[in-house]
Amino acid sequence: MVPTVFWFIPIAGILALLFARILYVQMKKKDPGNERMQEIAGLVQEGAMAYLRQQYKVVAIVFLVTSIFFAIAAYSLNLMSRYTPFSFLTGGVFSALAGYVGMLAATHAASRVARAAQDSLNAGLQVALRGGAVLSFGVVGFALLDVSIWFYILNYFFQGDPQSKMLTITTIMLTFGMGASLQALFARVGGGIFTKAADMGADLVGKNDAGLAEDDPRNPAVIADNVGDNVGDVAGMGADLYESYAGAILAAAALFASSSQGLSLDTQTKYVLLPMIIGGLGVIFSIISLFIVKAKNSSGMKELVGSINNGIWLSSVLIAGATFVVTSQLGLQNWLGLSLSVTLGLLVGVVIGVWVNYQTSQDYQPTQRVAESAATSSATVITSGLELGMNSTSVPVIAVCIGMVGAFFCASGFSLSVSNIAQGLSGIAMAAVGMLANLGFVLATDAFGAIADNAGGNAEMAKLPGHVRQRTDMLDAVGNTTAATGKGFAIGSAALTAMALLASYVEEIKLALLRKGDINLVINNQEVPLAKANILDLVNYYQVHAMNPKFIVGAFIGAMAVLVFIGLTTGAVSKVAKKMVAEVRRQFSNPRILDGSESPEYQRCIQISTQGAQRAMIIPALLAVITPIITGVFLGVAGVMGLLLSAMTTGFGMAVFLANAGGAWDNAKKYIEEGHLGGKGSAAHKAAVIGDMVGDPCKDTSGPALNILIKLMSMVAIVTAGITILF
Amino acid sequence: MVPTVFWFIPIAGILALLFARILYVQMKKKDPGNERMQEIAGLVQEGAMAYLRQQYKVVAIVFLVTSIFFAIAAYSLNLMSRYTPFSFLTGGVFSALAGYVGMLAATHAASRVARAAQDSLNAGLQVALRGGAVLSFGVVGFALLDVSIWFYILNYFFQGDPQSKMLTITTIMLTFGMGASLQALFARVGGGIFTKAADMGADLVGKNDAGLAEDDPRNPAVIADNVGDNVGDVAGMGADLYESYAGAILAAAALFASSSQGLSLDTQTKYVLLPMIIGGLGVIFSIISLFIVKAKNSSGMKELVGSINNGIWLSSVLIAGATFVVTSQLGLQNWLGLSLSVTLGLLVGVVIGVWVNYQTSQDYQPTQRVAESAATSSATVITSGLELGMNSTSVPVIAVCIGMVGAFFCASGFSLSVSNIAQGLSGIAMAAVGMLANLGFVLATDAFGAIADNAGGNAEMAKLPGHVRQRTDMLDAVGNTTAATGKGFAIGSAALTAMALLASYVEEIKLALLRKGDINLVINNQEVPLAKANILDLVNYYQVHAMNPKFIVGAFIGAMAVLVFIGLTTGAVSKVAKKMVAEVRRQFSNPRILDGSESPEYQRCIQISTQGAQRAMIIPALLAVITPIITGVFLGVAGVMGLLLSAMTTGFGMAVFLANAGGAWDNAKKYIEEGHLGGKGSAAHKAAVIGDMVGDPCKDTSGPALNILIKLMSMVAIVTAGITILF
């Protein structure tokens, strides 16, 4: 039934999960440190798990309701495929599993990293990196497994015209992408609200009012802050990248199904499997890369960053090379163009990563200039951060544009003509797949920073010797720097995947019309058989052009949806943060807590963040789900495409702006804390802290959630295409 | 040659200018106050005029260079009409004239308002309102005169096919819109940088560091601050609305020329003249409305606001009604639909105005909530302002969308089919014309606030009795409130005009192809004679649809251009502000200035703002001009339309965001200053001042400039269409 090469995909998935399991067991065997360290780690773990359980409960209800709605639409009204309700559910469940496993590992790792760092820097690095790799290989493994299981099932049970087999299968599989996206949005928004509210509470009252140091155990919000790092930066990021990874693969598969129409079923299947195979190869390359990362005790930032960057380079080069080999070995006609698209995609990711690092690292002028403006007042530090963020959108947008046009050009037989549109678009999707193929490695290097951060908190609260904190701080800083490259890949792939999903939407509209029983389209007074209609025919039929008022109105709404989404998520953070501040102030009114003779009530703070995040994440998620449906009902296909296009372009720009402004404010503060411009406690430092607080929800809640939003809206539009064509 | 009804337009223009002249003479006859008041007014006037002269010099060079470039393109390369270089120049010159006249009046009015307010509130109101009306009637008069003169000339000299006569004339006239837009961008950006840099310098050092009151004469930046109000809020706003007003009329005329293709030349001419006639009627209604505004000495805010709002209502209703009469009397076929479009446009403007007022006035919850968050810290006041701004985009966008679809529906024979596209679009353009027709009145009610503000400064520095300042403050506050309605019209019309210009771009592409000598277009393998091709044919020919990668890349660049423009303009303000802060600190190091025994060097501060603004306004303006040209060269027509569409949707959303966030921060501060939450000098007040400083460049520089940017980019694309089709 399936070609032999298919089996490589689930095997790679299982390999990734096995590898994650081995790393987990290895990590657990390490010394968890003294009693106090274990106690603190236990508190953080308990809080994090309690939060995740609570979040999954809410999300489960949302998924259940949505599935029932889908089941009615599918079984009673024939508006979508009968597999959709289940496919949608598995996307959410597997994503949740990956996040859970990753966070479990991260919370166990923290005290062990602190303990290992007591011995040597390299020991700490290895434990942290392996802890992070549990998340990354969990994400990759579960995604590949989910993709391959669904492919196998749908392939096995498919009945009907073989020519439309791959198209039908891949479009159904996109609904599992919607499950993953929705879960990711909840994880990012919920986790982001939790962590930033706790952070602001801890900083504003603990640091600024009471003058406590970071991670001082007398601060009632300190455990919530550490829990937040786990639910936001580990579980949230895991779900986010699960969605990106699966989304890129699914979008590419769907476009290959479209572009290979007319070829033999065998060839079509090969094309569709290609992105999954690249993903599987990425697992192997990521494992290899992980083993080349080493540190000496004498290593400085430079060596550590260099060592990790070598790993990223190695895996990227291997993936680029492997694409040439695999595509030519599979006998795919446009193998050269496709492979060049992947190389181009990787280059775009690297360019964005380098740029993000240049803009937001305190080693370079732009962020230093933000720091300098802190010397004038907190108003100027805010203004110059906004300026940096806005201006910094230029290079990523131009890079993505060049990557898009270039990949299209290469993949469609070295031409920019839209007659080969599906081929060209599949090149764009492949560029995104290439960027994310080494996720197993890249995500690990990102997550280990969060673990090191927590280890530092653990060391501080357990009063370990100073050099431990120094080492974990260095690991944290390394994680921040290497994360820039990961961010480049994540940001770049989001734009390319969203672009590919736009085309998948058109394909799904066609399938929905076929399901409805339509046979012909009348385009420019000519009858075109629906089964043979391509993307351009449908675009013409629905008048999806720049002069259709429905398209334009859709575009206005898309830009607005992005801005309102930012408003809602930012607002949610400040609402919960306000409650947190009040609670911390209330506890500090008891002098026995401040003098350390009584332990603060950590649980109250955790509860505030948990409940606040649960409530506040619902409305933004609803906005993402309902906007495409309502637009479809009122403005039809043209309106929806206007919405998606504009949400993509505005959302991408705003995501880059929020990430970079937030990053620059954060690091401008660190720059001052390193002793520049008066150092800690100076007026400049206080102004920079304000900047950091404004930036926190930007870079850790609204910004990353936007990358998910633009894909989720496309996914929702795809899944509910059957409803749109009714009106 | 021209129909008799044409003569109404220049006559209305001259009437407006005469009325402005009468008001100016009346105002000048008022008592200019004591010697000290005159001295201060003289300083402000001198600084403002010096700035304007300097700015006009720079702009003149830019215009000259651009005209030469256009002349080469027109006369040597046949890439644009031979009238373009001149038409472009007059747009800039007339706009500059209007701004100059308005500012001359405003600077003369300030001390007279202060003097009159000494006698009674009504006296102050009347002088201020008449001072503002010199600007508004100057704007309207010069615009109508410029439009009608060009129409007459082009109509007289036209040679060629009568069927294409109106289309050709109106498209050439659009280039005068480009001149007006470019001049407006310089005025808004330059003036905005000047005023906000001076404001920040005066506030940060004078108020916060030295503890001086607003408008304390010991503050070296105080005169620059007052000059800034004139060059930013009077001259800048005048040029801005000149551009909006002329742009709306020209875009509507161009669309009428397109939609009336095939009808008799006589009917075509009537359609083209319709928007200008509505503008002319607006002059008369505005004059009437101005006379019903009255105040008693006992009048409170409510009565004053009510009196002015009555004027706005009266003129709006008169315009809506007149459209029904004029269109039916002219015998226009779709008179009912067109008139309904105008009514709808006015309603949209009112809805946006009410919403803006609700969001940004300290009388309502949203802004009060921002003020309350100031009690927590300056970080939360920033975050909650951002939240308010982002969320507040919802209603304006939805209102504009409903207005757009509704106007299209009404004007195209009560249908949403795109087969009547030009008719539908002309309805959208007419809605914009309707919104701006009563500009003579609305702009006066906006500008009088700025004059009252300056009068307050004058009273303060001349140490007039307290009740004078109270009265001018009240007039200022009234101006801020009634300005909301004006803003609603300006914002709404910008979106609708930009939309209409998108269609004009397509028409101009057709004319450019004809100029180049093309005869047929091959669309879907069918030959369509170019002369008969309509907007949809061209859109199909250039594949301006949502799946064309060039269109999509253009859209990405459009969103980016908006964000970078915001970054550049905000950055310019903080750059100049930093210099200003340093200068004020330097002067304060002389203790004789602070104890009042030595007069500060006001000139140095004025110089810093003037030079800084000149330098900093060049790059953002260049971005606006060059982006559409480069996009056209590399990505063709589809790319340019993607750019314009996306700049319009993102730019509109961001403009609303910036205006409302800035407005809310400003009024949150005022709310606290009124005595809430601890009042002046409290921690909440300090935090709110930070918010206000962050908001200043948003609401007075970047935000309003965005409305111009989106139209200027369209105008540039239209004028350089001949270059785009070469590639």
Would the CB atoms of A421 and B650 count as touching at under 8 Å?
Answer: no
Would the CB atoms of B545 and A545 count as touching at under 8 Å?
Answer: yes
Query: Model confidence over A43-99: pLDDT tens digits?
Result: 999 999 999 999 999 999 999 999 999 999 999 888 888 899 999 999 999 999 999
Would the CB atoms of B555 and A645 count as touching at under 8 Å?
Answer: yes
Decide if A418 touches B, using CB distance below 8 A.
yes
Would the CB atoms of B546 and A200 count as touching at under 8 Å?
Answer: no
Q: Which residue of B has its CA nearest to A567?
A: B387
The interaxial angle of helices A8-29 and A121-157, nearest 10 deg, is: 150
Of residues A382, A392, A642, nearest to B382 (C-beta): A382
Please name the residue ranges forming H helices in B674-724: 683-697, 703-719, 721-724
Write out the two tokens for A473: 């701080």
Would the CB atoms of B546 and A535 count as touching at under 8 Å?
Answer: no
Of residues A379, A567, A657, nearest to B563 (C-beta): A657
Which residue pairs, CB below 8 angstroms and at least 24 apart, start in A340-343?
Answer: A340/A410, A341/A406, A341/A407, A341/A410, A341/A411, A341/A427, A341/A428, A341/A430, A341/A431, A341/A434, A342/A278, A342/A430, A342/A431, A342/A433, A342/A434, A343/A434
Q: How confident is the model at residue A321 (pLDDT cuts 50, 70, 90)?
A: very high
Question: Mean pLDDT across the stretch B410-430?
Answer: 88
* Rg of chain B, C-alpha, whole Å: 25
Question: Mean pLDDT across the stretch B211-226?
Answer: 86
Segment of A326-340, A634-648, B307-321, B684-698 carrying the highest mean pLDDT: A634-648
What pairs with residue A522 in β-bridges? A527
Which of A369, A387, A575 is the best mutation test for B, with the most CBs of B within 10 A?
Answer: A387
Decide if A641 touches B, using CB distance below 8 A.
yes
Of A543, A533, A544, whose CA–CA distance to A508 is shortest? A533
What pairs with residue B521 in β-bridges? B528
Question: Mean pLDDT across the stretch B165-182?
Answer: 92
Decide if A134 touches B, using CB distance below 8 A.
no
Please name the residue ranges forming H helices in B517-601: 535-541, 549-588, 591-594
Of residues A383, A543, A566, nearest to B570 (C-beta): A383
Q: What percent of chain B has pLDDT over 70?
A: 100
Of A310, A565, A546, whose CA–CA distance to A441 is shortest? A310
Residues of B in contact with A574 (CB under 8 A): 373, 380, 383-384, 387
Of A695, A721, A660, whose CA–CA distance to A358 is shortest? A660
3-state secondary structure at position B545: strand
Would the CB atoms of B384 and A571 count as touching at under 8 Å?
Answer: yes
Query: Model confidence over A130-154: pLDDT tens digits?
Result: 999 999 999 999 999 999 999 999 9
Question: Mean pLDDT across the stretch A296-303?
Answer: 77
What's the N-to-C CA distance of chain B in angstroms? Answer: 39
The alpha-carbon gap from A76 to the nearest alpha carbon of chain B, in Å, equals 32
Distance of CA A690 to the CA centre of its chain: 27
Of A509, A724, A578, whose CA–CA distance to A198 is shortest? A578
Contacts of residue A422, defined as CB under 8 A and 6 or more positions apart, other chains included, come to A255, A258, A259, A261, A503, A534, A535
Q: Looking at residue B207, what is its pLDDT?
A: 76
Would the CB atoms of B550 and A646 count as touching at under 8 Å?
Answer: no
CA separation for the pair A514, B213 (Å, rounded): 73
Distance of CA B516 to the CA centre of its chain: 35
* Chain A stretch 457-516, residues whose beta carbon is closer than 8 A to a beta carbon of chain B: 495, 499, 502-503, 506
Write out the two tokens for B643: 């750019």
Decide if A552 touches B, using CB distance below 8 A.
yes
Question: Does residue A234 surpass a pLDDT of 80?
Answer: yes
CA separation for the pair A247, B351 (Å, rounded): 40
Work out the angle at residue A568's Cα, subtended by the Cα atoms of residues A498 and B406, and round it to the nearest 5 degrees.
70
Query: Model confidence over A262-288: pLDDT tens digits?
Result: 899 999 999 999 999 999 999 999 999
Decide if A155 touches B, using CB distance below 8 A.
no
Contacts of residue B680, defined as CB under 8 A and 6 or more positions apart, other chains included, come to B672, B673
Decide if B427 touches A, using CB distance below 8 A.
no
Decide if A560 touches B, using CB distance below 8 A.
yes
Q: How confident is the model at residue B595 (pLDDT cuts 50, 70, 90)?
A: confident
Contacts of residue B333, defined as CB under 8 A and 6 or more positions apart, other chains included, come to none
* Chain A stretch 189-228, residues whose beta carbon is closer than 8 A to a beta carbon of chain B: 200, 204, 208
CA separation for the pair A254, A154 (Å, rounded): 14
Write out the two tokens for B215: 């408008």
Contact call for residues B316 and B438 (beta carbons, < 8 A) = yes
A296 vs A237, more confident: A237
- The number of beta carbons lying within 10 Å of the beta carbon of residue A297 is 10
The alpha-carbon gap from B524 to the nearest alpha carbon of chain A, in Å, equals 9
Decide if A401 touches B, using CB distance below 8 A.
yes
Q: Looking at residue B233, what is its pLDDT?
A: 86
Query: Model confidence over B343-365: pLDDT tens digits?
Result: 999 999 889 989 999 999 999 99
Which of A341, A386, A541 is the best mutation test for B, with the most CBs of B within 10 A?
Answer: A386
Give, for A354, the enclosing helix (H) or strand (E).
helix A335-360
Question: Does residue B484 surpass a pLDDT of 80?
Answer: no
Q: Looking at residue A446, what is its pLDDT?
A: 86
Question: Mean pLDDT across the stretch B664-676?
Answer: 93
Q: How confident is the model at residue B420 (pLDDT cuts 50, 70, 90)?
A: confident
Query: Model confidence over A152-189: pLDDT tens digits?
Result: 999 999 988 888 899 999 989 998 899 999 999 999 99
Question: Does residue B95 surpass a pLDDT of 90?
Answer: yes
Decide if B649 touches A, using CB distance below 8 A.
yes
Of residues B208, B394, B535, nearest to A564 (C-beta): B394
Decide if B252 touches A, using CB distance below 8 A.
no
Decide if B659 touches A, using CB distance below 8 A.
no
Match 């001049």 to its residue by tokens: B183
Q: How confident is the model at residue B208 (pLDDT cuts 50, 70, 90)?
A: confident
Q: Looking at residue A80, what is its pLDDT?
A: 86
Q: Looking at residue A537, what is its pLDDT?
A: 92
Write out the two tokens for A631: 């637009």
Residues of B in contact with A536 (CB under 8 A): 545, 547
What is chain A's mean pLDDT, rounded? 91
Would the CB atoms of A556 and B690 count as touching at under 8 Å?
Answer: no
The alpha-carbon gap from B153 to the nearest alpha carbon of chain A, in Å, equals 32
Which of A510, A563, A575, A660 is the best mutation test for B, with the most CBs of B within 10 A?
Answer: A563
CA separation for the pair B508, B719 (Å, rounded): 8
Q: Looking at residue A314, what is its pLDDT?
A: 92
Contact call for residues B243 and B187 (beta carbons, < 8 A) = no
Q: Are strands B520-523 and A526-529 parallel, antiparallel or unpaired?
A: unpaired
Q: How confident is the model at residue A323 (pLDDT cuts 50, 70, 90)?
A: very high
What pairs with residue A523 in β-bridges? A526
Write out the two tokens for B700: 């007075």
Query: B364: phi > 0 → left, psi -120 to 50 → alpha, else beta; which?
Result: beta
Work out the angle at residue A46's Cα, subtended by the Cα atoms of residues A43 and A50, and round it to the nearest 5 degrees.
140
Q: How confident is the model at residue B488 (pLDDT cuts 50, 70, 90)?
A: confident
Contact call for residues A389 and B566 (beta carbons, < 8 A) = no
pTM (2 d.p.): 0.95
SS3 content of chain B, % helix, strand, coil (to 5): 85, 0, 15
- The number of beta carbons lying within 10 Å of the beta carbon of residue A568 is 22
Write out the two tokens for A304: 């550590």
CA separation for the pair A499, A554 (Å, rounded): 16
Q: How confident is the model at residue B214 (pLDDT cuts 50, 70, 90)?
A: confident
What pairs with residue A545 in β-bridges? B545
Which of B348, B502, B553, B689 is the best mutation test for A, with the most CBs of A within 10 A?
Answer: B553
Decide if A683 touches B, using CB distance below 8 A.
no
Q: How confident is the model at residue B509 (pLDDT cuts 50, 70, 90)?
A: very high
Q: Looking at residue A152, what is its pLDDT?
A: 96
A53 burial type by CB count under 10 A (0-12 exposed, 13-18 middle, 19+ buried): exposed
Of residues B384, B545, B570, nearest to A390 (C-beta): B570
The alpha-carbon gap from B610 to the nearest alpha carbon of chain A, in Å, equals 20
Give, for B478, the enclosing helix (H) or strand (E).
helix B466-516
Write out the two tokens for B266: 């006589």
CA separation for the pair A219, B542 (Å, rounded): 63
Contact call for residues A219 and A212 (beta carbons, < 8 A) = yes
What pairs with residue B341 in β-bridges? none
Q: Looking at residue A190, what is its pLDDT?
A: 92
Question: Does residue A300 surpass a pLDDT of 90?
Answer: no
What are the Cα distances from residue A23, in Å, to A12, A109, A132, A447? 16, 11, 10, 14
Of A99, A65, A57, whose CA–CA distance to A85 is shortest? A65
Q: What percent of chain B has pLDDT over 90?
A: 68
Question: Does residue B567 surpass a pLDDT of 80?
Answer: yes
Question: Mean pLDDT across the stretch B46-72?
Answer: 92
Query: Model confidence over A31-44: pLDDT tens digits?
Result: 999 999 999 999 99
Decide if B170 touches A, using CB distance below 8 A.
no
Question: Mean pLDDT across the stretch B596-622?
Answer: 90
Could you say which DSSP state residue B526 is in?
Answer: E
What are the Cα distances from residue B53, in Å, to A711, B15, B58, B183, B610? 51, 28, 9, 14, 10
Would the CB atoms of A559 and B652 count as touching at under 8 Å?
Answer: yes
Backbone angles phi, psi at A412, to 5 degrees: -95, 40
Query: Helices H, strands E: what count in chain A?
Result: 23, 2
Give, for A257, the enclosing helix (H) or strand (E).
helix A237-259
Q: Looking at residue A547, what is its pLDDT?
A: 92
Decide if B581 touches A, using CB distance below 8 A.
yes
Of residues B400, B421, B556, nearest to A547 (C-beta): B421
Match 């993953």 to its residue by tokens: A180
Would the CB atoms of B649 and A650 count as touching at under 8 Å?
Answer: yes
Q: Looking at residue B309, what is its pLDDT?
A: 87
Contacts of residue A435, defined as CB under 8 A and 6 or more positions apart, other chains included, come to A248, A345, A346, A348, A349, A489, A492, A493, A496
Residues of B in contact with A375 (CB under 8 A): none
Contact call for residues A375 and A685 (beta carbons, < 8 A) = no
Question: Mean pLDDT across the stretch A21-32?
Answer: 94
Question: Does residue B476 surpass a pLDDT of 90?
Answer: no
CA separation for the pair A390, B698 (Å, rounded): 13
Q: How many CB pairs under 8 A join A and B?
A: 272
Would the CB atoms of B546 and A549 count as touching at under 8 Å?
Answer: no
Residues of A in contact with B653 (CB under 8 A): 556, 559-560, 562-563, 650
Contacts of residue B133, defined as CB under 8 A and 6 or more positions apart, other chains included, come to B19, B20, B23, B290, B440, B444, B447, B448
Of A623, A626, A645, A635, whose CA–CA distance to A724 is shortest? A635
Q: Looking at residue A525, what is its pLDDT?
A: 82
Q: Which residues of A638-647 are buried (b: 16+ CB within 10 A; e: fewer)?
A: bbbbbbbbbb
Backbone angles phi, psi at B330, to 5 degrees: -75, -10
